[in-house]
């Protein structure tokens, strides 16, 4: 299912946090959103998972306008893994993962056998099955991130919206999560701060600066030294990854010379 942001604008207290953002996420593709702190990435994502109503502009899920869909329907189609206080009560890991079935639920009916198997499989895929009986609040940041992605997957969404899903993960779990994203075949809109991870996993990348889309396209077209310097104020050299050929950014630290 395609996800389309069309002229999305969010104004708060007279300030545009997101300004006329248009971005297509074609069905089954991974589109990354990058940009400096405060550039509006999370705000844009919030409009997609309906935590925020845009001031103007439209989000389309396939041909449907998101705002026309009943909440329960859009909750079945879009799963989000975000920075917002996702879990505040000390549920066990298996309870949190099972909450992913809520939009499909029939009142308080217990999970079906298929749903229980789905939860077990997701916990195994995210390497959290051994934590099933632990309380979510006692987990490390990375463990919790993996649990929340397992919950998002058992929702069986068509679209995944992820806000910095790797920021707490060790390098092995970063690679595994990104490989998983590629393997699940869902439509994915993901905010990433690590530009090399974005280059490795995204089919397309959109660059936000002060709420506006500066450029969007294939990683090699977007992650240029000029754009990185303009948007982030950082000097980079961009080289092809020796195995995958995707762009890799090598950052230059300003050289501090000792005073004579
Ligand atoms: N509810 C709010 N009221 C007022 N300003 C807000 C609100 N939410 C976010 N902002 C401001 O909007 C701007 C964009 O915030 P947002 O969280 O979308 O940025 P971001 O690109 O995701 O940043 P980061 O990389 O730091 O996570 C920031 O200046 C932020 O302070």
CA of 52 to the centre of ligand 1 (A): 12
CA of 11 to the centre of ligand 1 (A): 11
**In a domain? residue 256:** no
Q: Is 170 left (phi over 0), alpha (psi -120 to 50) or beta?
A: beta
Q: How far apart are CA 141 and CA 64, in angstroms?
A: 35
pLDDT in tens, 87-108: 677 899 999 999 999 888 776 7
Any idea what the CATH number is for the domain that residue 34 is in? Answer: 3.40.50.300
Is ipTM beyond 0.90?
yes
Separate counts of helices (H) and strands (E) for the chain: 9, 12
User: What 8-state DSSP symbol labels residue 130?
Assistant: G
**In a domain? residue 258:** no
pTM listed for this prediction: 0.92
CA of 107 to the centre of ligand 1 (A): 36
**What is the best residue among 41, 52, 54 to mutate for testing ligand 1's pocket, by most ligand atoms within 8 Å of CB?**
41
Q: How far apart are CA 111 and CA 37, in angstroms?
A: 40
**In a domain? residue 96:** yes
The angle that helices 141-154 and 171-184 make with each other, rounded to 10 degrees, is 10
pLDDT in tens, 144-197: 888 999 999 999 999 999 999 988 888 988 888 888 888 888 999 999 999 999
Phi, psi (rounded to 5 degrees) for 205: -135, 135
What is the domain count for the chain?
Answer: 1
Residues in the chain: 260
Q: Which domain holds residue 175?
A: 3-251
């Amino acid at each position: 299912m395609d996800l389309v942001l069309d002229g999305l604008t969010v104004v708060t207290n007279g300030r545009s946090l997101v300004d006329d953002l248009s971005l297509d996420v074609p069905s089954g593709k991974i589109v990354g959103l990058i940009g400096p702190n405060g550039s509006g990435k999370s705000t844009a994502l919030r409009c997609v998972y309906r935590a925020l109503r845009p001031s103007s502009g439209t989000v389309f899920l396939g041909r449907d306008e998101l705002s026309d869909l009943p909440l329960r329907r859009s909750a079945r189609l879009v799963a989000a893994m975000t920075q917002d206080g996702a879990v505040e009560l000390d549920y066990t890991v298996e309870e949190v993962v099972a909450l992913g079935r809520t939009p499909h639920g029939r009142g308080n009916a217990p999970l079906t056998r298929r749903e229980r198997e789905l939860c077990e499989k997701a916990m195994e895929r995210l390497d959290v099955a051994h934590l099933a009986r632990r309380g979510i609040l006692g987990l490390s940041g990375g463990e919790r991130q993996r649990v929340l992605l397992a919950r998002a997957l058992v929702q069986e969404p068509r679209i995944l919206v992820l806000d910095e899903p790797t920021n707490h993960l060790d390098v092995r779990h970063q690679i595994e999560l990104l490989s998983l994203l590629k393997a699940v075949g869902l439509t994915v809109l993901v905010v990433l701060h690590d530009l090399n991870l974005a280059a490795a996993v995204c089919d397309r990348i959109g660059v936000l600066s002060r709420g506006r889309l500066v450029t969007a396209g294939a990683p090699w077209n977007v992650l240029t030294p000029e754009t990185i310097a303009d948007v982030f104020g950082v000097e980079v050299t961009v080289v092809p990854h020796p195995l995958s050929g995707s762009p890799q950014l090598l950052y230059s630290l300003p050289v501090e010379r000792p005073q004579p």
